[in-house]
Chains A and B, each alone.
Chain A
Amino acid sequence: MTDHRPGWIERLHELLLLLPAAGQRERSRLLDEAWPLMHAGMLRQARYQARRVGRIDRDSLVDLVSEKVLDLLRRIVSNDWDISRHSAPELGSFLSMTARNAIIDHLRREGRLIHPDADQEGPGWDAPRHRQVTKVAAHLESVEVRAERKEFADHLVACVDDLADRSRTIWFLRVMLEMNSKEIAAHPEVETTPGNVDVILQRTRSAVRDCMTRKGHEPDRMPAGTFTEIWRRFRGMPRTDREKANDD
């Protein structure tokens, strides 16, 4: 797929343009949408950069990015940085640069900066290698494997479907996305204590494992495609008729 002007950065640009003049309530609404976009966009760049120039644990990455996001928002609100003078692509470039510099500064301060290896993967894909791997994988995947994968995903969806909404969200955020208990506890769809997250998680993992075992699966062996099916069912927007038809 060729790269195009990304939708998230355009949306973020729109939201940030409204921020300086917004009242308190409006600002809260804008930040509900803008913060995750800005944070996620910068965190992705920070991850790529950290992969190239040194090791940083995920918690530190999240802290660094949160710090930068809050700093940039403050500059926008105080009119120290006039966002209307920049296009959405310029904003995207600036966020990428800021994330990269934050990582380099952090590693340099800690004396852990290593020289970037030009052969290592940067932002985006290593496209030719990726295409080749995918082609080979698709070729090797037999009809049986595809059927097995679909059955596993369908059964997992059914098992997870039995969970209460919040328990399911907690299960998804931990098992599928590997978020830690503190992050999950602060997630807007969860809002509880990390200790409570652990308790709920223990219960739900056990329930899902038992359910999958009853259906004849080893729940720890999750075939490719399962995440997408779970996401499609529980995290995506409402499905189209065609998507529903595909299930039949």
Chain B
Amino acid sequence: MTNTNDRFREHPSPDTLLDLAAGLVPPDERADLLDHLTGCPPCEEEFVQVSADFETGRATRPDDAVVDQALRTLPFPQQTRRPRWQMLVPVAAAAVLAFALLLPPKTDSDGSGMFPLPSPGEELRLRNVDAPGNVLLAAGLDAYSRHNWGEAARLLESADSDGAWTSVRGVYLGSALAMSGRLDEARSVIESLDARMLPDPWGSESRWTLGVIYRRLGETARADSLITALADESGAVGDRARAALDVVN
């Protein structure tokens, strides 16, 4: 515990003020400290800031379910720079959560070479939804989970997203457009994503989808280059890419 024996004849440090805000200062010392703050405008000003920091900390504490997922199931040690949205989503205070992106992938090919992304499924829940953009985003992801590609694309195109959700919206919109045959638009959306920085399987699936789009648009060299790069990677998409190269070769 902070030593407060000098009874605040001098000004309290910011650490002591955080102790106070967090309820860690014993009652007698607290009384002296508060008396000091009352007569010391700069100290009080600092205490306002520290209190705001502490209460903000309480407000940003993520739900247990989100923490559990983030702590236990989202290690990406192979990445040197973590994708921002992966970490921001759990702490986005007013948005969404439950994490479409944490569910195991379902990769059912429909014969077109396109594979759906892991479905948001029924676990997707919106909390504290108060912005129209969030509602559309949720509805779009819900349509995606029902494999209603056209509806998903329409809703996700209309949805607003900021910071944490921009990449989520882009990943699923790109996939929905591709699955509904709108290849040029899908290509544009996926190319705008930094797919290499997305966690797998979303990153690798997005790149696979882009490779298939290139091939179907007749851009064979680009398609081969991308599929070859994916073949060097581990996981289901890597296996798929190696199998595709085996067929070609």
Chain A 204-248 per-residue mask, 1 if CB under 8 angstroms from chain B, else 0: 000000000000000000001101110110011111101100100
Is A44 on the interface with B (CB-CB < 8 A)? yes
Question: B49 near A: Cβ within 8 Å?
Answer: yes
A114 within 8 A of partner (CB): no
Pairwise interchain contact A187-B44, C-beta atoms closer than 8 A: no
A-B contact count (CB 8 A): 230
Assess the A1–B6 pair: CB atoms within 8 A.
yes
A194 and B128 contact, CB distance less than 8 A: yes
Q: Give complex CA distance A67, B92 in Å.
A: 10
CB distance from A155 to the nearest CB of B (A): 16
Q: Please name all residues of chain B whose beta carbon is closer than 8 Å to the beta carbon of A167 when the two chains form the complex.
A: none
B109 contacts partner chain A, Cβ-Cβ < 8 Å: no
Shortest distance from the beta carbon of A150 to any chain B beta carbon, whole Å:
9
Compute how far the CA of A130 lies from the CA of B37 in the bound complex, rounded to whole angstroms. 13
Which residues of A sit under 8 angstroms from B46, Cβ to Cβ?
125
Determine if A1 and B13 form an interchain contact, defined as CB atoms under 8 angstroms apart.
yes
A194 engages B57 (CB within 8 Å)? no
Which residue of the partner chain, among A36, A71, A224, A243, contacts B54 with CB atoms under 8 Å?
Answer: A36
CA distance A207 to B160 in the complex (A): 36
The answer to whether A9 touches B15, judged by C-beta atoms less than 8 angstroms apart, is: yes
Would B57 and A35 count as touching, CB distance under 8 A? yes
Give the Cβ gap from A61 to chain B, nearest Cβ, in Å.
Answer: 9
Instruction: Please give me the residue from chain B that is nearest to A243 by CB atom.
Output: B31
Given the contacts A186-B94, A187-B55, A28 and B64 also touching, CB distance less than 8 Å: yes
* Neighbour of B128 across the interface among A2, A78, A186, A235, CB < 8 A: A186
A185 near B93: Cβ-Cβ < 8 Å: yes
Contact yes or no, A31 B50, CB < 8 A: no
B49 touches A138 (CB 8 A): no
Query: Are B67 and A31 touching (Cβ within 8 A)?
Result: yes
Contacts of B14 in A (CB 8 A): 44, 123-125
Which residues of chain B from 125 to 154 have a CB within 8 Å of any chain A CB? 128-130
Q: How far is the CB of A12 from chain B (nearest CB, A)?
A: 9
Let me know if A111 is at the binding interface, CB within 8 A: no
With A73-B71, A194-B128 in contact, is A179–B12 under 8 Å at CB? no
Which residue of A66, A192, A231, A237 is within 8 Å of B91 (Cβ)?
A: A66
Q: A40 touching B21 by the CB < 8 A rule?
A: yes
Contact check, B30 vs A182: say whether CB atoms are below 8 A apart: no
From the candidates B9, B87, B128, name the one contacting A185 in the complex (CB within 8 A): B128
Q: How far is the CA of A222 from the CA of B56 in the complex (A)?
A: 23
Across the interface, do A224 and B44 meet the contact criterion of CB distance under 8 Å?
A: yes
Given contacts A35-B61, A187-B58, contact A228 B37 (CB under 8 A): yes
Q: Which residues of B contact A240 (CB under 8 A)?
A: 27-28, 30-31
Contact status B11-A179, CB under 8 Å: no
- A77 proximal to B (CB < 8 A): yes
* Also in contact, A183 and B60, with CB within 8 A (given A67-B91, A70-B90, A237-B27): yes
Q: Is the CB of B93 within 8 A of A186?
A: yes
**22 residue pairs A–B, Cβ–Cβ below 8 Å:** A4-B4, A6-B2, A6-B18, A7-B25, A28-B67, A36-B54, A40-B56, A44-B50, A66-B60, A67-B82, A67-B91, A70-B87, A78-B75, A130-B42, A141-B39, A186-B60, A193-B94, A194-B94, A225-B44, A235-B51, A236-B34, A240-B31
B interface residues, Cβ below 8 angstroms from A:
1-4, 6, 8-16, 18-19, 21-25, 27-28, 30-31, 34-35, 37-44, 46-62, 64, 67-68, 70-72, 74-75, 82, 84, 87-88, 90-91, 93-94, 128-130, 163-164
- Residues of A whose CB lies within 8 Å of any CB of B are 1-11, 24, 27-28, 31-32, 35-41, 43-44, 47, 62-63, 66-67, 70-71, 73-74, 77-78, 123-125, 127, 130-131, 133-134, 137-138, 141, 173, 176-179, 182-188, 192-195, 224-225, 227-229, 231-232, 235-240, 242-243, 246
